[in-house]
Amino acid sequence: MQFDLSIFSPKARPLIGVDISSSAVKMVELASDGKGGYRVDRYSVEVLPRDVVADGNIANLEAAAEAIKRAWRKLATPTRQVAAALPASHVITKKIIVAAGQKEEELELLVESEANQYIPFPLDEVNLDFQILGPASSQEEIEVMIAASRKEKVEDRVAAVEAAGLKPVIMDVESYAVLASLDLVLKQLPEKGKGRIIALVDVGANVTSLTVLRDGQQLYAREQAFGGNQLTQDIARLYGMTFAEAEAEKRRSALPDNYEAELLQPFVENMALEVSRALQFFFTSTQFNKVDHIVLAGGCAVLPGADEVVASRTQIDTIVANPFANMVLSDRVRANSLLADASSLMAACGLAMRRFDA
């Protein structure tokens, strides 16, 4: 979902996907592989100091801009145009059905009129955009998605990107960016996941989110407070480190021998329990009673044995998300490093794919 920033189509121009999460700035730059697929040109991850981003809000603009700048320098790219995203919690979305064949100006007026009815803020305080999803059930009608966010939420991210010396041209919604790269992951499943009920479980730094889909349609969504920061805090406490030191050692896998038995395994078991609980909520609050596949995403998805423990606990086939599995890699990208980071690059990958939008 793009806002007023996307004045020009980014098609055929280099574009960096920038995901500003609570724990890190993640960047991905894709190119065409010449055969209708993608090539991973570059990517980088820059860990954010704690509390720079809190609840999706940029709390420290200067520190965020510095981290974005460091991530961009790591990329070593001449590209400065970026696609960024807002957390779904900062965006109000609504699908409407309208008569087909209307001009762009007529649609804009209709969208503004609809938005007035359900957005709890004056329209001059929001960024408003819409996207035609396709024909509705009737041939004479189309389905349109409206997205609106407080201008201050958009402007915070724009300001951080611009302060880093980059040029934001697209503002998307994180959840839509993740779903774009999920399509690449689903192609790795039997029959490309068609007709299957897929549970996307994203275990981030602070929050675990569950999104259940079938053929691209969302059936259920839920968030719960559980994330990798709990493991980092345990590491800091047990080994007398600062939070930043513990996070760095965790990422480097450079912890003492007792780490796995005392901290890692119990955390992974807890994670599997949280996934199982989230699925139980799905089963009890909908008419569905099964899930065919779990796709694990987020930084915690690649913890040793996480997919096996989740599969064992839930009795559901579980894979770790890797949207780059079928992509060509440039000489600048190390395959092992990308594999370790892939599950946490879902949003950045989906944003980078916006370069190829028509």
CB 184 within 8 A of CB 348: no
Q: Is the dihedral of CA 51, 55, 60, 65 positive or negative?
A: positive
Domain limits, CATH 3.30.420.40, in the chain: 1-89+151-188+322-358, 190-321
Average pLDDT of the residues in 148-173: 94
In sequence order, what are the beta bridge partners of 126? 150
Task: State mean pLDDT over 324-350.
Answer: 95
Higher pLDDT, 82 or 49: 82
Range with the poorest average pLDDT among 10-24, 34-48, 291-305: 10-24
The pLDDT value recorded for residue 112 is: 85
Cβ–Cβ under 8 Å, residues 178 and 297: yes
CATH number for domain 1-89+151-188+322-358, candidates 3.40.640.10, 3.40.50.12170, 3.30.420.40, 3.10.129.10: 3.30.420.40
User: Residue written as tokens 């939420």?
Assistant: 153
Q: What is the pLDDT of residues 82-99, one digit of tens each?
A: 999 999 889 888 888 888
Measured distance CA(30)–CA(15) in Å, rounded: 8
Range list of H helices, the chain: 61-75, 104-118, 151-163, 174-186, 228-239, 243-252, 259, 265-285, 306-314, 335-341, 346-352
Provide the whole-model pTM: 0.90
- pLDDT for the residue 1: 46
Task: Look at residue 358 and tell me whether its pLDDT is greater than 80.
Answer: no
Q: What is the pLDDT of residues 278-327, one digit of tens each?
A: 999 999 999 999 999 999 999 999 999 999 999 999 999 999 999 999 99
Taking residue 73's Cβ as centre, other Cβ atoms within 10 Å add up to 13
Environment class of 145 (CB within 10 Å of its CB; exposed 0-12, middle 13-18, buried 19+) = middle
Provide the pLDDT confidence category of residue 236 given band limits of 50, 70 and 90.
very high
For residues 233-243, give the mean pLDDT. Answer: 94
- pLDDT at 12 (0 to 100): 58
Task: Tell me the three state secondary structure of residue 300.
Answer: helix
The count of residues in the chain is: 358
Decide if 136 contacts 142 (C-beta within 8 A): yes
Instruction: Give which of 15, 29, 36, 40 is closest to 338, Cα–Cα.
Output: 40
CATH 3.30.1490.300 domain range(s) in the chain: 90-150
From CA 248, how far away is CA 47, in angstroms rounded?
9
Tokens 């980092």, residue located: 232
* Each residue's pLDDT tens digit, 175-209: 989 999 999 999 999 999 999 999 999 999 999 99
Structure token pair of residue 107: 């649609």
Q: Is 125 left (phi over 0), alpha (psi -120 to 50) or beta?
A: alpha
Class level of CATH domain 90-150: alpha beta
323 or 104, higher pLDDT: 323
Nearest in space to 107 (alpha carbons), one of 97, 116, 117: 97
Tokens of 36: 């209708």
Query: Residue range 159-171: average pLDDT?
Result: 96
Average pLDDT of the chain is 91
- Helix (H), strand (E) counts: the chain: 11, 16
pLDDT digits (tens, 9 = 90+) for 243-269: 989 988 888 888 999 999 999 999 999
Please give the CATH number for the structural domain made up of 190-321: 3.30.420.40
Mean pLDDT, residues 121-133: 84
Identify the pLDDT of residue 59. Answer: 93
Other CB atoms within a 10 A radius of the CB of residue 71 amount to 26
For helices 228-239 and 265-285, what crossing angle results, to 10°?
A: 160
Q: Are strands 24-32 and 38-47 parallel, antiparallel or unpaired?
A: antiparallel
